[in-house]
């Protein structure tokens, strides 16, 4: 990228291009700034007709696919409807970096013609609109990943996952917004700006897959793909009332997707599905594994879909599960809505005949710190290298006044190029090896701890899965999502985990509580942050984890757990509408 233009000009021009790409007939009046919950606007703005609303408010991916296969809905109908709703979502929350209107509509027509001529669907995802986090390369299209220096960088080939989705019959409709470098739990970058939460736009949609979270929550995509190295699927999933799967490392093909810290392979980023219902997670997992992704990505293990694992053969056939419940991690006590959600879920599971046991946090803080030291061991050299190509500053604060000051700085007054204070030391190769060694030791300690729970479960098995908070808070006000510890735990252990919705913050049910004792300064600061009025309407989700490479079993257990939770779940969070 040439430095003949100031980085601000490059960013503002690309942002203008994004705004101009929305067809005039799909544009809506700018919502008033004090309108926080915008979930109802897609249905009331007049852009979508009654049939299009019916199509885009169907949440279950299995049912969508059935209607497409039967011809009840055409691919062109669902793609057009979903593109229009995605355009509305973009105008409400700034969640989309690019809408593929022309190519998606052409693909939909092709799929409809194929079905009409052959009587056979193109593939198991025939006609299904899918959105992608702005990391996945699409031939002929930009992948910007929040960097000004990547504007105009056109992919010469598809990511492996993109090829697979197309072969399965999916229609890629959009790419979604991310934070600069991906390494934040908030979604803001200098090119496209900030993504907000449709449940309450004064709150964050999370990160780094925050664009996916907001888009899917507003019905602008039935199935999206995010990535996760420290919670970047599960945090937006929880903050936006969705389901999101963080799989074990390399279970799905990452080949050809762009990333920060490329080459750092001790704690790897993984890709996974996000959806408004659990069915989307299972459909994605089985369909992708059925394509033999190990033949295209050299690090994907040769592990086809395991139906026996899904049927819980090793987990008592699902008859009576024993589930660990982690209330807190010994570092930060969750806010009242999170504790209420844990209590609701635990009571519902026990009422349904399953057993739960309290899970004591062991080695959690050391696991967090070890993982973070590994991930930041380059002292931000990777990020600073990308930023320096245009002079764009490394974003070290997501406060509105700070990001606006950088974007509108006069010549010669750009913020200094400096790393985030979270990056504290540059590791030698030897120091990095010792961290890898310690991480493996910690994983062994945790495995033994998990196995030892056999003595307490009453099933002659260890716990089947572990339920915990996704974060010590629901979606925070912008720039305050500063704790990823609960999600990082399962990245460090490399356990698959699913975020799922439970309830929403209710000031009447979730008042502030007085506390006089704290785990430490971070816990005290988190306690002071909570205000039930500020967090009002924010979705409250939890996560459930199983052992490494147990994706099918985890999905099988969620098939049992989710209907139980549905009996006590807030409907508005469950539907996402």
> Which residues are known catalytic residues?
133, 208, 232
Is the distance from CB of 451 to CB of 312 less than 8 angstroms? Answer: no
Question: Whole-angstrom Cα distance, residue 238 to residue 226?
Answer: 13
Number of other CB atoms surrounding residue 117 within 10 Å: 8
> Binding site annotation covers 81?
no
Q: How far is CA 90 from CA 83, 106, 212, 214, 220, in A?
A: 10, 22, 11, 9, 9
208 labelled binding-site residue? yes
DSSP state letter for 30? P
User: Which ranges of 334-474 would DSSP assign to H, the alpha helix?
Assistant: 336-351, 364-375, 381-388, 400-407, 429-452, 454-457
Rounded to the nearest 5 percent, the helix, strand and coil shares of the chain are: 40, 15, 45
To the question of whether residue 410 is assigned a binding role by annotation, the answer is no
Nearest to 38 by CA among 195, 146, 184, 193: 195
With helix as H, strand as E and coil as C, how does 124-155 read? Answer: CCCCCEEEEECCCCCCCCECCCCCHHHCCCEC
244 marked among binding-site residues: no
User: Do residues 115 and 147 make contact, with C-beta atoms less than 8 angstroms apart?
Assistant: no
302 burial level (CB within 10 Å; 0-12, 13-18, 19+): exposed
CA distance 20 to 88: 14
Report whether 218 belongs to an annotated binding site.
Answer: no
Q: Beta strands 243-246 and 223-228: pairing type?
A: unpaired
DSSP annotation of 477: B
- Residues linked to residue 189 through DSSP beta bridges, in sequence order: 193
* Alpha helices (H) in 129-277, listed in sequence order: 160-167, 210-217, 234-239
> Is residue 229 marked as binding?
yes
Beta carbons within 8 Å of 54's beta carbon, 6+ residues apart: none
Binding residues: 182, 208, 229-232
Q: Could you list the residues known to form a binding site for substrate, using ranges.
A: 182, 208, 229-232
């Amino acid at each position: 990228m040439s430095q003949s233009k100031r980085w601000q000009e490059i960013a503002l021009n690309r942002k203008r291009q994004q705004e101009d790409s929305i067809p005039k007939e799909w544009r809506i009046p700018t919502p008033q700034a004090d309108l926080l919950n915008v979930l109802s606007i897609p249905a009331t703005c007049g852009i979508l007709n009654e049939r299009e609303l019916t199509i885009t408010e169907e949440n279950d991916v299995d049912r969508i696919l059935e209607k497409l296969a039967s011809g009840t809905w055409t691919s062109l109908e669902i793609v057009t409807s979903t593109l229009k709703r995605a355009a509305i979502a973009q105008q409400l929350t700034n969640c989309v970096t690019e809408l593929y209107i022309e190519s998606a509509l052409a693909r939909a027509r092709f799929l409809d013609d194929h079905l009409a001529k052959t009587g056979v669907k193109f593939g198991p995802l025939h006609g299904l609109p899918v959105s992608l986090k702005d990391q996945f390369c699409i031939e002929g299209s930009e992948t910007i990943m929040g960097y000004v220096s990547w504007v105009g960088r056109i992919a010469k080939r598809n990511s492996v996952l993109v090829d697979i989705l197309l072969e399965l019959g999916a229609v890629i409709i959009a790419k979604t917004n991310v934070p600069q470098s991906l390494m934040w739990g908030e979604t803001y970058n200098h090119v496209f700006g900030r993504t907000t939460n449709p449940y309450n736009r004064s709150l964050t949609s999370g990160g780094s897959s925050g664009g996916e979270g907001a888009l899917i929550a507003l019905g602008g995509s039935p199935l999206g793909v995010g990535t996760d190295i420290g919670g970047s699927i599960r945090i937006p999933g929880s903050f936006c009332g969705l389901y999101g799967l963080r799989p074990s490392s390399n279970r799905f093909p990452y080949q050809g997707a762009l990333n920060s810290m490329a080459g750092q392979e001790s704690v790897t980023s993984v890709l996974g599905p996000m959806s408004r219902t659990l069915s989307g997670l299972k459909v994605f997992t089985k369909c992708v594994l059925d394509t033999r992704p190990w033949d295209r990505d050299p690090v994907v293990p040769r592990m086809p879909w395991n139906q026996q694992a899904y049927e819980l053969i090793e987990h008592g056939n699902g008859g009576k599960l024993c589930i660990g419940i982690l209330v807190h991690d010994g570092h930060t006590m969750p806010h009242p809505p999170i504790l209420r959600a844990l209590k609701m879920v635990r009571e519902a599971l026990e009422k349904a005949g399953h057993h739960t046991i309290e899970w004591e946090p062991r080695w959690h803080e050391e696991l967090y710190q070890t993982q973070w030291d590994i991930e930041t061991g380059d002292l931000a050299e990777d990020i600073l290298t990308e930023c320096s190509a245009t002079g764009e500053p490394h974003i070290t604060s997501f406060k509105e006044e700070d990001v606006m000051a950088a974007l509108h700085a006069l010549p010669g007054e750009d913020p200094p190029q400096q790393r985030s204070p979270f990056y504290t030391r540059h590791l030698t190769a030897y120091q990095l090896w010792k961290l890898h060694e310690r991480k493996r030791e910690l994983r062994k300690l945790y495995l033994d701890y998990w196995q030892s729970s056999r003595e307490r479960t009453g099933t002659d098995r260890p716990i089947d899965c572990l339920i915990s908070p996704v974060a010590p808070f629901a979606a925070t006000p912008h720039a305050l999502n500063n704790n990823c510890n609960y999600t990082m735990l399962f990245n460090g252990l490399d356990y698959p985990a699913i975020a799922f919705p439970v309830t929403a913050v209710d000031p009447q049910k979730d008042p502030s509580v007085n506390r006089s004792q704290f785990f430490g300064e971070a816990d005290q600061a988190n306690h002071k942050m909570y205000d039930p009025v500020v967090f009002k309407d924010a979705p409250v989700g939890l996560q459930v984890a199983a052992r490494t490479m147990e994706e099918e079993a985890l999905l099988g257990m969620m098939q049992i757990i989710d209907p139980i939770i549905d009996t006590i779940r807030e409907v508005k969070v469950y539907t996402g509408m």
